[in-house]
Chains A and B, each alone.
Chain A
Amino acid sequence: EAGVAQSPRYKIIEKRQSVAFWCNPISGHATLYWYQQILGQGPKLLIQFQNNGVVDDSQLPKDRFSAERLKGVDSTLKIQPAKLEDSAVYLCASSSNRGRPPYEQYFGPGTRLTVT
């Protein structure tokens, strides 16, 4: 079974530019998560999708971050405009919602963003 795929793996941009990350979850997984992991910290949930609906986006800075999950499969996370403090690893995870909760989350390799 293929794991969670993310691209690009690395991205360097200047502040005020825009950037987009892509995530392809494990086939059949209904729930998709985006986490932000700043260096030296644990991952922080930005947004959670159930199929193509948003379950939790309480920690998403909506003035600059947006995310979508069209057709309930792939997802993109966008930052526009980027700030220096957005430098982090962006992790995507998915879970199947089968069996008893809480459902195990499977993580992708992440996209490392550097904003200069």
Chain B
Amino acid sequence: AQKVTQAQTEISVVEKEDVTLDCVYETRDTTYYLFWYKQPPSGELVFLIRRNSFDEQNEISGRYSWNFQKSTSSFNFTITASQVVDSAVYFCALSRFGNEKLTFGTGTRLTIIP
């Protein structure tokens, strides 16, 4: 069975601070994919990143960066110099190789205080 745990239910930081959202996953598969989605107040889930289990290289996209560590089964997401527009619920998700079904965590509500 697959499981994704996002232990941080809510986080509030002041604008321009850096913030890290934690994601820990469980799977018996050797090949799998990890995702992060953003859900703003409008409700639509917005795709942010996909990583496969072969590639543990960290990734940076603008103010966003992701740290994938297979040894600790973690896929953490850092926002640098946070902005009010980053306020949203963020979900980490997992899928099996060859299967599009996403298993989501419970999400972390991030509030950026101006």
On A, residues with C-beta under 8 Å from B are 3, 31, 33, 40-45, 48, 55-56, 89, 91, 93, 95, 101-110, 112
Pair A95/B42 contact, Cβ less than 8 Å: no
Contacts A105-B47, A110-B44 supplied; 13 other A-B pairs, CB < 8 Å: A3-B44, A33-B100, A41-B106, A42-B91, A42-B106, A45-B102, A55-B100, A89-B43, A91-B45, A101-B98, A102-B95, A104-B47, A107-B45
On B, residues with C-beta under 8 Å from A are 4, 33, 42-47, 50, 91, 93, 95, 98-102, 104-107
Pair A105/B102 contact, Cβ less than 8 Å: yes
CA distance A42 to B39 in the complex (A): 10
Output the least CB separation between A98 and chain B (Å).
Answer: 13
CA distance A73 to B47 in the complex (A): 22
Please indicate the chain B residues that have their CB under 8 angstroms from the CB of A33 in the complex. Answer: 100
Please indicate the chain A residues that have their CB under 8 angstroms from the CB of B44 in the complex. Answer: 3, 107-110
Pair A105/B43 contact, Cβ less than 8 Å: no
Please indicate the chain B residues that have their CB under 8 angstroms from the CB of A109 in the complex. Answer: 42-44
CA distance A40 to B98 in the complex (A): 29
CA distance A102 to B4 in the complex (A): 18
Please indicate the chain A residues that have their CB under 8 angstroms from the CB of B50 in the complex. Answer: 102, 104
Please indicate the chain B residues that have their CB under 8 angstroms from the CB of A102 in the complex. Answer: 33, 50, 95, 99-100
CA distance A56 to B103 in the complex (A): 13
24 A–B contacts, CB within 8 A, in A order: A3-B44, A41-B106, A42-B4, A43-B45, A43-B104, A45-B102, A48-B100, A48-B101, A55-B100, A56-B101, A91-B43, A93-B45, A101-B98, A101-B100, A102-B100, A103-B100, A104-B50, A105-B100, A106-B47, A107-B45, A108-B44, A109-B43, A109-B44, A110-B44
- Chain A minimum-CB-distance residue to B96: A102
